């Protein structure tokens, strides 16, 4: 039986993906040179669609990597000489922090328990931290940080660079790139594509920092996909290494589809579906929303504590043709995670709620 995937990545494929994939095959995208005009046109198109979708100004470049976790390493290598600062409240934000330690950065940690979120007023950033590392949507626990709070943090610490992991929420968060220096995501979450491409948005200020580290501090910024190399190739819409041309093409097409609907509509639909899910969970005896504070509840990954073992719930919805995610880590058996990405419609969410009720 064909299933609807409510899993938080890989997730349900966006409905138009099949057609775009067919077109890409017909146009032999898989065989074109990444040094050809045809590729440069594809990169340029995807760049423009993402700029429109996320309101990215000319001060920022858009680069492609193998995955989002690759960007954790890239941004730490390129934007931190000594010290980074991390807000950690779950497994993904924790991994970002772990990467900093692995790269021998002095990583400051501000941690909250699983299921809790951060507010602007909670956060004190140490004086010498150069990069503030934030996770907009903590996929493991279903906690979100409000973009208003992210912007306030940057305004308070305007000399520091701010990078936002928006992997399991983009394009939902209305980040203001006139203040935010960098953000990144991968395509197998809310863009509804198979896994295999990371997208890194970084400002001129990030580039300046990387160049300074390279030239004057005699520090390595890595060898692969360094920001200065990515940027110099980006000027002609090329990439240092042979990229995932097919996925760059598909991403441009999906972003174009999102733009046709309009980002405001996509955000409203996301909020509408999230409202339906939380309302159901709040009223139900069999489930409860894991995240208690309304303002920290994720709009894109909804985590529920289940009365019954989560395996029973998962198999119940599976029989009706739907797949929901397990809880993360030690919550595997007591929670489910429901992705609320643009690929699933209001009707599909309604069907899921009906089945969860049974």
Ligand X SMILES: *Cc1c(COP(=O)(O)O)cnc(C)c1O
Taking the complex as a whole, how short is the minimal distance between the CB of residue 129 and ligand X, in angstroms? 20
Candidates 65-73, 111-119, 141-149, 287-295; binding stretch for ligand X (CB under 6 A)? 65-73
Please identify, using beta-carbon distances, which residue of 137 and 203 lies nearer to ligand X: 137
Per DSSP, what are the bridge partners of residue 306?
287
Strand partners, 335: 305
Q: Which one of 133-141, 156-164, 274-282, 333-341 is the stretch in contact with ligand X (CB under 6 A)? A: 133-141
Does 79 participate in binding ligand X (rule CB under 6 A)? no
Residues 6+ apart with CB under 8 A from 147: 136, 173, 174, 175, 176
Site residues for ligand X, 9-38, by CB under 6 A, read 9
Q: Is 69 in the site for ligand X (CB under 6 A)?
A: yes
Query: CA-CA distances (angstroms) from residue 63 to 48, 60, 122, 200, 244?
Result: 12, 10, 32, 5, 12
Q: Is 99 left (phi over 0), alpha (psi -120 to 50) or beta?
A: alpha
Q: Is 85 in the site for ligand X (CB under 6 A)?
A: no
Nearer to ligand X, 182 or 280 (CB): 182
Which phi-psi region, left, alpha or beta, contains residue 79 (left: φ > 0; alpha: ψ -120 to 50)?
Answer: alpha
Q: Name 184's bridge partners.
A: 165, 200
What is the footprint of ligand X within residues 140-199 (CB under 6 A)? 165, 167-168, 186
Helix residue ranges per DSSP H, 126-167: 147-156
CB of 134 to ligand X, least distance (A): 11
Rounded CA gap, 8 and 167, in Å?
Answer: 10
Cα–Cα distance, 184 to 293 (Å, whole number): 26
Residue 351 CB, nearest approach to ligand X (Å): 25
Contacts with ligand X, 265-294, as mask; x by CB under 6 A: ------------------------------
Q: Does 68 bind ligand X (CB under 6 A)?
A: yes
Among 92, 114, 247, 290, binds ligand X (CB under 6 A): 92
By CB under 6 A, name the binding residues for ligand X. Answer: 9, 67-69, 92, 135, 137, 139, 165, 167-168, 186
């Amino acid at each position: 039986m064909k299933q609807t995937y409510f899993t938080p990545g890989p997730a349900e494929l966006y409905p138009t993906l099949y057609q775009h994939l067919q077109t890409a095959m017909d146009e032999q995208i898989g065989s074109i040179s990444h040094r050809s005009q045809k590729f440069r046109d594809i990169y340029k198109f995807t760049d423009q669609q993402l700029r429109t979708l996320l309101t990215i100004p000319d001060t920022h470049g858009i680069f492609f990597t193998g995955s989002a976790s690759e960007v954790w390493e890239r941004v730490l290598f390129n934007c931190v000489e000594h010290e980074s600062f991390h807000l950690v409240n779950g497994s993904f934000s924790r991994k970002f922090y772990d990467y900093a330690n692995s790269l021998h950065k002095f990583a400051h940690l501000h941690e909250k328990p699983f299921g809790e979120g951060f507010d602007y007023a909670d956060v004190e950033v140490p004086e010498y931290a150069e990069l503030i590392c934030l996770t907009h949507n903590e996929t493991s626990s279903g906690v979100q940080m409000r973009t208003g709070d992210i912007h306030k943090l940057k305004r308070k610490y305007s000399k520091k660079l701010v990078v936002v992991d928006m992997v399991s929420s983009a394009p939902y968060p209305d980040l203001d790139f006139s203040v935010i220096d960098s953000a990144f995501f991968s395509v197998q979450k809310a863009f509804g594509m198979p896994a295999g491409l990371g997208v890194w948005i970084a400002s001129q200020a990030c580039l300046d920092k990387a160049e300074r580290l390279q030239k004057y501090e005699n520090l390595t910024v890595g060898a692969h996909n360094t920001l200065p190399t990515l940027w110099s190739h980006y000027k002609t819409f090329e990439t240092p290494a042979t990229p995932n041309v097919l996925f760059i093409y598909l991403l441009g097409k999906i972003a174009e589809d999102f733009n046709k609907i309009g980002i405001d509509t996509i955000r409203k639909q996301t909020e509408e579906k999230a409202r339906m899910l939380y309302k159901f969970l709040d009223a139900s005896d069999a489930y409860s929303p894991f995240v208690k504070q309304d303002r920290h509840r994720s709009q894109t990954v909804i985590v529920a504590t289940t009365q019954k073992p989560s395996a029973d719930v998962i198999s119940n919805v599976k029989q009706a043709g739907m797949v929901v995610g397990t809880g993360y880590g030690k919550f595997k058996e007591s929670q489910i995670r429901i992705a609320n990405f643009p690929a699933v419609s209001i009707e599909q969410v309604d069907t899921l709620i009906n089945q969860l009720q049974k």
